[in-house]
Chain A
Amino acid sequence: MTEDIFFKSIRELAALLGSKEISAQELAKAYIARTSKLDPKLGAFLFADEALALEGAKRSDARRARNESLGVLDGIPLGLKDVLALENQPLTCASKILENYKSPYTATSVKNLEDAGAVFWGRLNLDEFAMGSSCENSAYKPARNPWDLERIPGGSSGGSAAAVAAGLCAAALGSDTGGSIRQPASHCGIVGLKPTYGLVSRYGLAAFASSLDQVGPFGRCVEDAAILLGAISSYDRKDSTSLKVQKTDYLAALSEGGLKGKKVGVPKEYFPTGIDKEVRAAVEKSIETCAKLGAEIVEISLPHTELAIPVYYIIATAEASSNLARYDGIRYTHRSAEASDITDLYYKSRAEGFGPEVKRRIILGSYVLSSGYYDAYYLRAQKVRTLIRRDFENAFAAGVDVIATPTSPTCAFKLGEKVSDPLSMYLSDIFTINVNLAGLPALSLPCGLSGGGLPIGLHLIGKPLDEKNLLSAAYAFEKSGNLACAKPAFANIEKF
């Protein structure tokens, strides 16, 4: 088996499985072998259950032998960000506080993949409780960027992006609260999609900020993201914010719309002076490509863009301070051995169990909700959130189909570069956060490489529940270049 197999699209792998050129078990074994060789250097996996993957693959082979294949995902090894519950598997959220915790139930989005025959390979690394933009906040180990091991893969779903990019799983799920899928996808040169809020059930996703969190796919091409989105999206009565929408065949719709005749909005606020020159050049060139593919390019304004960061860090931390209160040392989380009474038990268990960034956000969130400060912070932030949402509504009402921006203001930075400067770390999400505040679908796809050989991502934002056209536009763009399924430097196993 050549290395190429790890860089094939899901459809290509499905064809190989279908024609019996390879069995699901052989495929799983290949991924297991590759992961055990490469991951010690990459740090994308927090835990990997070989037996689980092999059993899943065996069942898939049995189905195929009976001509009962469940479809394109049957037998495909997929990774899960370690915030998504899978029965009997660890669910640590990359936190010490959940070190020995196993979930007794499966998340709806994961169950949907299971029902499609997917094979689960690995619990993938992240910033603790999805709080961070570099994967350096993992309590266990940092994940690294397969394009340059000195650099971060992005975050918080850094492990998912790195694993897919390095060919350690075929595709993966992540979660996106302020850019946690799109920013690492951009840094690792793959496709990452954050769906419309409510399209994918949050049941079984350990909550960071409930009104912003969405589960979404990582794929090495737009088609893979479309396949995964089609599988995971479903109405779920267990999630009261789940939307009752008809199942869409995103894969079939890919070649329907394209960019021809589409109006692509380019918001001037997303090209500030501080942005990396190479990133700007690549994104501007991409916009020209869109024009060549038949799109009409219009400059638009999203005037409240600069308020995104403060609004986000009020709303997200407020919700997080409450969501993370359940990790208290009483029922299933780490309990301090030193505690003398109940208050002390809370203090010490949480002090020992949470890392510094999580603590920072819990303190910030508790503060903005405190009596006397609520109106000035939380309530005001909610009002501004409405204005931000309205900015997008106005743009779409004016006929814009898709909005194009950079995903991140820079390429992947070096490990340790921003650890001591939370504010500059927060700024790396500046182009992705507003999408969560507005509940919109958006994706990042590769649009070029920097001079230093680092991937650059193009960020496309769609109308609510218009994933079909968003994916189709991205697909048209992707076809015009040759960046899909790219192999990063680290892919060459012999080199390391």
Chain B
Amino acid sequence: MEYEAVIGLEVHVQLRTKSKMFTDAPYYFGAEPNTLTDPVVWALPGVLPVLNFEAIRKSIKAGMLLNCDIPEVAKWDRKNYFYPDSPKNYQLSQYDQPLCLNGGVEIELAGADRASMGAHRTVKLTRIHLEEDVGKLTHFANDSLVDFNRAGTPLIEIVSEPDLFSADEAFAYLCSLRDSLVFADISDCDMEKGQMRCDANISVRPKGEHKLGVKVEIKNMNSMSSVKAGIEYEIRRQTDAILKGQKIVQETRRWDAELGITQSMRGKENAHDYRYFPDPDLMPVMISQELKASIRKELPALPFDLQRKYMQDYGLPYSCTSVLCHERELAEYFEECVKHTKNAHAAANYIVNDILRELGALSASGERRAAVSQSGISAKNLAGLVNEIDAGVISKQMAKDVFAEMFKSGRSAAAIIEEKGLRQNSDSGEIESFCLEALKGNQKAIDEFKAGNVKAINALVGPVMKLSKGKANPAMVLETLKKLIK
């Protein structure tokens, strides 16, 4: 019998806000331990939570981006459990009235090859709710230390339906979610920094069966590759167990990235009773039509939508759009470019190849690639360069130097061409005289060309370019040479 896996993901995403969820204390990554705190973060006697409205806006924005229904009222609940990283020993969360309901995440499955687009499908979401993050524990031989810097930072939990059927699909889902949320400036979604965390509920059932199998929750998958490997392992483990006639027990398991296996953490009987109840310190959030309208105005197009648009409107190849639409800044840079040039294709190629290469060189290895805003070449100037080439003012060969100079100096292509006298020579009289000069003493090449070796003409182009100090219009040179040989 064939078996299939059914996967639901719970993805926690840290919202990018200046201050914490329920207090003015700031938050950023990498501060000295326990410095981003105040009486509210420490949960001292008498403190009360005050809602950070920016977190509400960003959560609703995430929901709108993912086509969720946004209710009129959302409320806050306390999730009670004791753990040293939780200062109040309850977490403010949303139990039965979250900020976003339903919705879906469009995913792309692998295509036939890198150059072709794969199949697309929308994975159903259950809900998105907003809650506060906990601190961080570090364990030593005899002690454990806790850092409350992260405690109380806003976190959204995006819960999918059991609507994913392989580790690859789960991986594609995470990629799409990350790209969309980063695109909309909701989060930086860096899994290594804990800005995005993923737990998976996995069950296995005979193919064709509608009823779900016994579900196992997998935790501690701390990178994109861990998610894929962890899910792959767990599907295999469950399938093997079923094939051996064993029963799957409902439990929570922990992915061990070093050993490459999942291990039981706790069984169903040890599941927490969180004693949820409505938080009496916070008022329910009323979500007005005006608020929704104002957030809707800030919504960017989603990466997949942009990709389709670029392929259709500009005829860009799929592989090129995959790079452009991976990052909002790049896409915006491209769109600015095409305001100033008709040759979108050339502009896109310049961005994807040359600009990204130079940006990569700006940052040390292992570091995040420099942003396109750090490029010396503005979108308008890049369009200018493309236009100079298209107008025949400079050759593609000359353009390489111009590009390098532009990136370094931030000046326009026209200014550099003018200053360095790089303007291509398209004077037919002069070119003809360079060609006649080059033909002298190159009888071997002439004979070979006449004998049908088309490439032999290249041996003649070199001397012409040399005579013209590299400025002769290459297309005109070729044409003139051919004419003269005949």
Chain B, 412-447, contact with A by CB distance < 8 Å: what is the 0/1 string? 000000000000000000000000000000000000
CA distance A250 to B391 in the complex (A): 83
Instruction: Check B45 against A103 for contact (C-beta < 8 Å).
Output: yes
* A240 CB contact (under 8 Å) in B84, B87, B90, B282: B282
* A93 CB contact (under 8 Å) in B45, B277, B281: B45
Q: How far is the CB of B399 from chain A (nearest CB, A)?
A: 59
Instruction: Check B46 against A325 for contact (C-beta < 8 Å).
Output: no
Chain B, 72-99, contact with A by CB distance < 8 Å: what is the 0/1 string? 0000001010101001111000000000
A101 at the interface (CB under 8 A from B): yes
Residues of B contacting A321 in the complex (Cβ-Cβ under 8 angstroms): 80, 275
Instruction: Check A211 against B44 for contact (C-beta < 8 Å).
Output: no
CA distance A83 to B44 in the complex (A): 12
Instruction: Check A330 against B277 for contact (C-beta < 8 Å).
Output: no
Residues of B contacting A378 in the complex (Cβ-Cβ under 8 angstroms): 277
Instruction: Check B48 against A328 for contact (C-beta < 8 Å).
Output: no
CA distance A103 to B87 in the complex (A): 16
Q: Which residues of B277-295 have CB atoms within 8 Å of chain A's CB atoms?
A: 277, 280-283
Closest to B80 in A: A322
A491 at the interface (CB under 8 A from B): no
CA distance A104 to B44 in the complex (A): 9
* A101 CB contact (under 8 Å) in B45, B88, B283: B45
CA distance A93 to B44 in the complex (A): 13
Instruction: Check B88 against A240 for contact (C-beta < 8 Å).
Output: no
* A326 CB contact (under 8 Å) in B87, B273, B275, B280: B87
Residues of B contacting A207 in the complex (Cβ-Cβ under 8 angstroms): 45-46, 281
Q: A203-B46, A370-B273 are in contact. List 14 more A-B contacts (CB 8 A).
A: A85-B44, A93-B45, A98-B45, A105-B39, A206-B45, A207-B281, A211-B280, A237-B50, A322-B80, A322-B90, A328-B82, A328-B89, A342-B84, A374-B276
- DSSP majority for the A interface? loop
Instruction: Check B277 against A205 for contact (C-beta < 8 Å).
Output: no
Instruction: Check B48 against A203 for contact (C-beta < 8 Å).
Output: yes
Instruction: Check A240 against B45 for contact (C-beta < 8 Å).
Output: no
Q: How far is the CB of A222 from chain B (nearest CB, A)?
A: 28
Can you list 6 A-B contacts (CB < 8 A)?
A: A98-B45, A202-B48, A211-B280, A325-B90, A326-B87, A332-B44
Closest to A201 in B: B48
Residues of A contacting B281 in the complex (Cβ-Cβ under 8 angstroms): 207, 210, 240-241
Closest to B39 in A: A105
Interface residue ranges, A against B (CB under 8 Å): 83-85, 91, 93, 98, 101, 103-105, 107, 202-207, 209-211, 237-241, 318-319, 321-322, 325-326, 328, 330-332, 342, 346, 366, 369-371, 374, 378
Number of A-B pairs whose CB atoms are under 8 Å?
A: 95
Closest to B278 in A: A382
Interface residue ranges, B against A (CB under 8 Å): 39, 42-51, 78, 80, 82, 84, 87-90, 144, 146, 273, 275-277, 280-283
Instruction: Check B45 against A370 for contact (C-beta < 8 Å).
Output: no
Residues of A contacting B280 in the complex (Cβ-Cβ under 8 angstroms): 209-211, 241, 319
CA distance A210 to B280 in the complex (A): 6
Q: How far is the CB of B51 from chain A (nearest CB, A)?
A: 7
With A330-B84, A366-B275, A369-B80 given, is the CB distance from A103 to B46 under 8 Å? Answer: yes
With A240-B282, A342-B84, A374-B277 given, is the CB distance from A330 to B146 under 8 Å? Answer: yes
CA distance A339 to B51 in the complex (A): 37
Residues of B contacting A98 in the complex (Cβ-Cβ under 8 angstroms): 45
Instruction: Check B277 against A85 for contact (C-beta < 8 Å).
Output: no
Closest to B272 in A: A371
CA distance A104 to B46 in the complex (A): 11
Q: How far is the CB of B312 from chain A (nearest CB, A)?
A: 49
With A330-B146, A346-B82, A371-B275 given, is the CB distance from A239 to B90 under 8 Å? Answer: no
CA distance A326 to B281 in the complex (A): 15
* B87 CB contact (under 8 Å) in A202, A205, A331, A374: A331
Residues of B contacting A103 in the complex (Cβ-Cβ under 8 angstroms): 44-46
* B78 CB contact (under 8 Å) in A105, A322, A374: A322
